[in-house]
Amino acid sequence: MALFQSQSDAQLKLMDAAVRMRGRSLWQDALERFRRNTAAMGGVIVLCLIALMSMIGPLISPYTLEDLSWEAIGIAPTMTNSHWFGTDDTGRDLWVLTWMGARVSLTIGVMTTIVAMSIGVIYGATAGYAGGRTGNAMMRFVDVLYALPLLFFIIILVTVFGRNIYLVFLAIGCVEWLTMARIVRGQTLSVKRKDYIEAALASGVRTGTIIRRHVIPNVIGPVIVYVTLLVPTNILVESYLSFLGLGVQEPLTSWGVLISRGANSLETAPWLLLIPATFLAITMFCFNFIGDGLRDALDPKDR
């Protein structure tokens, strides 16, 4: 009797799970599996805290970005005074600089990714759906751009047109879309052979509408995963440009600018390098954890 009872309980549990799964879409199922990923959810929480502090952190400090304290130059981090993260070699509060740098770095990382995603998704979906000579010609153009030193291209754009924040994220975004286009093209080549695409063609739906309403929504899963990897990559590119002196201009600052300045004072004031570098590393880890979680949640083999 106990054996039959356990089997019936197991069958009831399977039936309940089937009923619950039947009422959920694939996106809802992916969201539920993403929530069960501890590392990914931890990354989301920490990243949200960093983004929140980038907004309110400078507001809770008694100092501003422009304040210079000549009597408080090079103070080490301490909680006994109002300079919680210490000061730099000009007397500016590192707490304010760090969170303002986080605001600029995260903004550049997100905005450049939006630019790269917009160009890459549209270009890749069009090349994949067109196919034939048109698609091959479009991808050969991508191959030519791949052969160019992209970082050198970014440096030329920033040098010629100036170092304002809008040009920085536009320049990075315009050269970071190439891999996105290849990913979307590969997904589109498999999607365009599906029955619902054939049905749309038979119904007389225009090509642009098919790409916008049927192709792009069905290839967005791998794009979302790649976006979580592209954001930290773009933050690092901006940090590298700022390290070379080609990033954002004063009075704005970024983690790359702070790291560049801290590297020059590593022996006398190591906190100027360690604090922004630590927050940059934490942000990179968070995006990587989120990307791994999204990859597992959107993997059709795990459904």
| DSSP summary character for residue 70 | G
Phi, psi (degrees; rounded to nearest 5) at 21: -65, -30
Question: How many Å apart are CA 242 and CA 247, to the nearest integer?
Answer: 4
CB 180 within 8 A of CB 226: yes
The domains of the chain, with CATH numbers, are 26-62+102-302 (1.10.3720.10)
Please give the pLDDT value at position 202: 79
Please give the pLDDT value at position 44: 92
User: Tokens at residue 193, please?
Assistant: 């052979």
Q: Per-residue pLDDT for the chain (303 aa), expressed as one digit of tens each? A: 444 444 445 444 544 444 444 555 666 777 788 888 888 899 999 999 999 999 998 888 888 777 777 667 767 777 667 777 878 877 788 888 899 989 888 888 888 888 888 888 889 888 888 888 888 899 899 888 888 776 777 777 777 776 667 777 777 777 788 888 888 888 888 887 777 777 877 777 787 787 777 777 777 777 887 888 888 888 888 777 777 777 777 677 888 888 878 887 777 788 888 888 899 889 988 988 888 888 777 765 555
Return the HEC string of 109-177.
HHHHHHHHHHHHHHHHHHHHHHCHHHHHHHHHHHHHHHHCCHHHHHHHHHHHHCCCHHHHHHHHHHHCC
pTM of this prediction exceeds 0.85: no
Please give the pLDDT value at position 47: 92
Contacts of 242 (CB under 8 A, 6+ apart): 248, 254, 255, 256, 257, 259, 260
CB 208 within 8 A of CB 249: no
Please give the pLDDT value at position 46: 94
Question: How many Å apart are CA 273 and CA 85, to the nearest integer?
Answer: 11
